[in-house]
Structure 1
């Protein structure tokens, strides 16, 4: 047994990656040489000491070991040690009684990605390796999250804090942000934290339902109201959301006529079905969302000013992914874990891939990242996903300048066109509107999209 323990200790000391182990009570019992090299912390500072005391001394900004012991599952956090930004993952080791006996911690130095000459193994793969050697079952769970929101940046933490603060109240909420930033995720968070969490939660995409059908969907209709109507009539979505919450996504796409009816709902909290005469009282909270500038639409006469002020009681602006780079590594690993689990694979990001993702502008935001990572997990031939696998051109190594010079002018123009078109389509949804903003005809835009494979 002593030989096995010595073998494990020598193996972990030989690892290039930092490893730290605490016992079930939160005391440090092992750290390899790589841990000292990366963090600058010594055994005298950590071994035999409780993590709460280490936190109190300010040696580390946060303890992933304590979080694992509390939540009894794998946890990933951002940690700061001696001025370095670290991506830290803690993995529980369970005994035969399914109680935690140890916590194995791996970390990656995010600040030194540009200077690394060798690729570091992904923390999850390293944790799985050592846990497999110890023949201990590892319970798989998501990376850090708050009620489904994956975030670490101050911008998103402010959004979460505001959502928590306003959730218990009945006030109308307007979620603002580019397409793909996660407006529906924040709507889910508000609903889950509200006192209506066990009541109906109806989601409506105002852009996905044809305008001529949206009114009957929202307000319902009486029997015989129009040709093709259900002979028994039908309650609308507002009625179905009674005592709960209704989420009106893409509210900027609603017609002016329908905006007037919605205004009445907000003022009187009552609806009248199409073809009906009686009003129906409803108790419903309204959360709306848009990627459009409603103030601009009001000035153009395309959105009712009185409705805008009714919806804009509590606005929450969700920042685009490019403005919260701290969230990118966490989101990337979260989506990678989900895709690996879904397809029974074990793909990993190299460090240049992580840096490339942090350098990219992500015009399609979180949704673009999720779809891209799932595609790469499926299509890449190796277990490692490199920056070269990404369709965008950002590089992280010292040869990026030389490679960009080697490109032809035609290639550079195509890259610029591709990014501008993606941003325009993401923001304005239709080729007609995107073409107008780009200053070209719709037919020209369609041809360019076909040529660029969009």
Structure 2
């Protein structure tokens, strides 16, 4: 067992002073508690966050064997010794000075694979339990809003043509009802859904219906800004903070949004190291510029969005669990276009009307176009629909757009030809069988009446199916 003088002497043989200073600065900047011990189980260093979480001072743990700390009741167990014994990372629930923490010990090895130190990271379980309770409360709040919407759906109807919002579907009306109510408060909102479903439009809606309307509204695509620059873009930096910095420093996007709203799109793309700083913004509503020392208070509304499943990223260790709970106060999931086909006709006509006004055109959609649009899967959602309408509008020679002009027909044919029948669902195979039988009957009998008789259905039913399956009825006699 080493005494204090021996421990200090052993640690003095470590890296050069400037390297030690850099290492200490890195450890001290961590929001989580960090404790480092050497291979003999003697405390080597720890950060201020460890003391903040546990109340244990450096003098109680450093330069002494952790077994003595266990005997004195300072810690209930030593994750360090478990790591040294099992030679792998270990996570335990540990009681430190009466505070229950989640402690993860990780071995540090030399070139020969020998353990030289153990780094322990701790998190206060009270914080995680509190965040979980907040998440459960937010889910209950969302459920109550949905119930209230269902009960009052006949009393208050959301205008389907609000700014940027065109919808007739029940799913989007429910989401809009939640958005309209949460807009009145400053609760953090996370918008989820596939790419192209309209998450930014929802963010605009929330800001426009909030008390912050008319004030700053900053939009940030976290995936579009290089990871190395994202921190300085969000937090700003002081003069001379790094090489290439503007002489007078720079105001960050959080400061620019002060008093208003900031929308952080693609939040799942933020690097793990930057997530802890974002967590502090959510907790404390204050920031510190890169290279600065002054805390800057914020008065902002934060809206985030992602097309990823953050809970999966949490399980994979790519997204902080505590940040996930902080963001997920009021989640609003936006259904993909294939699940709300009742919106397709309104959206298609809206996009076409806007193009007609912009380019002085007079394009219209043939009645058979809408069933084609409604039966397409729309993997790119609303963004893809808008692109398809613009493409066909500017390339179609005649004013009336017919189904054959739609590029999505070729996509569906290519998709169908590439799939074997064993990979198709029952619904798809029944659909294909109906189409084939109708086409065979029509070619054989040449009239819709005789074809319907041979299929054992009425003529009106056959005509309806032809329209639904996009089979041209002009070349056949309706007798």
TM-score by length of 1: 0.56
Question: In the alignment, which of 328, 331, 334 is matched to residue 347 of structure 2?
Answer: 331
Question: In the alignment, which of 418, 433, 445 is matched to residue 413 of structure 1?
Answer: 418
CA distance in 1, matches of 2:353, 2:173: 23
Question: In the alignment, which of 173, 177, 196 is matched to residue 193 of structure 2?
Answer: 177
Question: In the alignment, which of 277, 280, 284 is matched to residue 296 of structure 2?
Answer: 280
Aligned counterpart, 2:95: none
Change (3 A) 1:282 1:359: same
Contact 1:270 1:279 in 2 (8 A): yes
The count of residues paired between Structure 1 and Structure 2 equals: 265
Aligned counterpart, 2:11: none
Aligned counterpart, 1:430: none
Change (3 A) 1:341 1:234: same
Change (3 A) 1:411 1:173: closer
Change (3 A) 1:145 1:272: same
Bigger relative contact order, structure 1 or 2, given CA contacts below 8 A and separation 6+?
1
CA distance in 2, matches of 1:334, 1:198: 26
Map residues 351-366 of structure 1 onto 2, 5 A cutoff: 351-366=367-382
Aligned counterpart, 1:255: 271
CA distance in 1, matches of 2:260, 2:416: 53
Aligned counterpart, 1:304: 320
Q: Deviations over 1:96-136 (max 9, x none)?
A: xxxxxxxxxxxxxxxxxxxxxxxxxxxxxxxxxxxxxxxxx
CA distance in 1, matches of 2:181, 2:415: 52
CA distance in 2, matches of 1:394, 1:313: 43
Contact 1:251 1:289 in 2 (8 A): yes
Question: Post-superposition shift, 1:410?
Answer: 10
Aligned counterpart, 2:208: 192
Contact 1:360 1:394 in 2 (8 A): no
RMSD: 2.4
CA distance in 2, matches of 1:246, 1:179: 20
What stretches of structure 2 of length at least 5 have no aligned partner? 1-153, 422-479
Contact 2:235 2:289 in 1 (8 A): yes
Question: In the alignment, which of 235, 240, 252 is matched to residue 236 of structure 1?
Answer: 252
CA distance in 2, matches of 1:411, 1:187: 37
Question: Post-superposition shift, 1:147?
Answer: 2.5
Is 1:389 paired with 2:405? yes
Is 1:216 paired with 2:232? yes
Question: Post-superposition shift, 1:415?
Answer: 12
Change (3 A) 1:252 1:363: same
Contact 2:388 2:407 in 1 (8 A): no
What stretches of structure 1 of length at least 5 have no aligned partner? 1-61, 63-76, 78-142, 396-403, 417-454
Question: Post-superposition shift, 1:393?
Answer: 2.6
Question: Post-superposition shift, 1:414?
Answer: 8.8
SS of the residue corresponding to residue 274 of structure 2 reads: helix
CA distance in 1, matches of 2:415, 2:355: 35
TM-score by length of 2: 0.53
Map residues 61-100 of structure 1 onto 2, 5 A cutoff: none
Contact 1:320 1:365 in 2 (8 A): yes
